[in-house]
Amino acid sequence: MEKTISRWVDQQISGGYIYGASRLGKSRGIQYFVCDALREKFGEIAPLVIWLRRSDTQLSESGFWHELLLAGKFAFANPLKPAGRIKGQRLAYEMFVTLARSARGRQVVLLIDEAHDMSVKEWKWLVGLQNAMDWEGYRLSVISVGSHQLNFQPDSLGMTGNAHVAARFLMVHERFRGIRSEEETAYALNGFDTDSEWPVGSGTSFLQYFAEDDFQLGRRLGHCAQTLWKALQDLSPPGKTKASEFPMWQIATVAEDILKALASGGQWNNVVSYDNILLLLSRTGFSTHMRNISRP
């Protein structure tokens, strides 16, 4: 995700989108890694504004500009009272121009999470903002992230006479993938073993904190990757093709449940056994979730 968005920012595209099934880790990836990586790389070249679109209902125009002002941490935006349609539009324009003016590349990036809920009107308001900035010599790149619904929007916009909107904001795309191998599973679990810290600043990993004796004996969750990978496959709904990618959310939940059990005095071999991991995974609603997100 980070490499894809970095490429698009370098190319100064007007818009692109990343889509994938629910719970694969898109939002968490943005929250915990992608934002920091992009800001480190483009901070002085192209400032980044992250907007988590929280509502699946259509926003009024004043509400739309208000959400963007809050996302950009505009100092004079009242969280409880939108500024109104005309004033909100003007303030949002000034905020983005100020950000672009402060950047060496005269470019600012708006990253919209949960973008599959965007309405046609909202896309058109963004067209107006982008046009106004283009007129003044500034570039607004809009990167959208959302579920598989987002991949249907270019056709939907085209059929409703808004192909120009799709050409503007949905011109390039990439699919977000879930965990696709035993090796990737081990990499994710390694985060709990060593690549984590609790409490913050302690230098102690999650596993070391919650199961210190097991940690000192050299036991690691990453060593259980083969068992968890088998459980993921065995609990996948039967079909013509075997599931090839799995959600990060269920994997993280199983790892957290293992840590809780170990912290409560559970024996390592019992807690990380295939039968117990299968049970923990089933309790997450994994099979139903995979059935819901599976595609032909």
pLDDT value of residue 291 = 84
Residue among 279, 291, 202, 182 nearest 243 (CA): 291
pTM of the model: 0.83
Question: Which of 117-121, 139-143, 148-152 has maximum average pLDDT?
Answer: 139-143
For residue 284, what are its two tokens?
Answer: 């997450």
Model confidence at 234, in pLDDT bands (50, 70, 90)? Answer: very high
Close Cβ partners of 107 (under 8 Å, ≥ 6 residues apart): 9, 12, 45, 46, 100, 138, 139, 140, 141
**Please, which residues have CB within 8 angstroms of residue 219's CB and are 6 or more apart in sequence?**
211, 268
What is the chain's Cα-based Rg?
22
Q: pLDDT at residue 238 above 80?
A: no
Classify residue 112 by burial, with Cβ atoms within 10 Å: 0-12, 13-18, 19+. Answer: buried
pLDDT at 240 over 60: no
For β-strands 139-146 and 172-175, DSSP reports them as unpaired
What pLDDT sits at residue 55? 66
Portion of the chain with pLDDT greater than 90, in percent: 62
- Measuring CA to CA, which residue among 181, 173, 121, 185 is closest to residue 142? 173
Q: pLDDT tens across 9-40, in order? A: 999 999 999 998 888 888 888 888 888 898 88
Q: Is the pLDDT of residue 58 over 80?
A: no
**Cα(273)–Cα(231) distance, integer angstroms:** 11
Q: What is the pLDDT of residue 243?
A: 62
| 2-175 to CATH, choices 3.30.310.50, 3.20.20.450, 3.40.50.720, 3.40.50.300 | 3.40.50.300
Domain segments of the chain: what residues? 2-175, 182-293
Q: By percentage, how much of the chain surpasses pLDDT 70?
A: 96
pLDDT in tens, 79-114: 778 888 899 999 999 999 999 998 888 999 999 999
* Whether the bond into 47 is cis, omega within 30 of 0: no
Task: Tell me the pLDDT band of 296, cut-offs 50, 70 and 90.
Answer: very low
pLDDT of residue 77: 77
**What does the pLDDT read at residue 12?**
92
Which carries the bigger pLDDT value, residue 217 or residue 242?
A: 217
Residue located via tokens 């990978």: 229
Question: Who contacts 15 (Cβ-Cβ below 8 Å, separation ≥6)?
Answer: 141, 142, 143, 144, 168, 169, 170, 171
The two structure tokens encoding residue 126: 């963004």
Is residue 288 over pLDDT 70?
yes
250-263 burial code (b ≥16 CB/10 A, e <16) = bbbbbbebbbebbe
Higher-pLDDT residue of 275, 160: 275
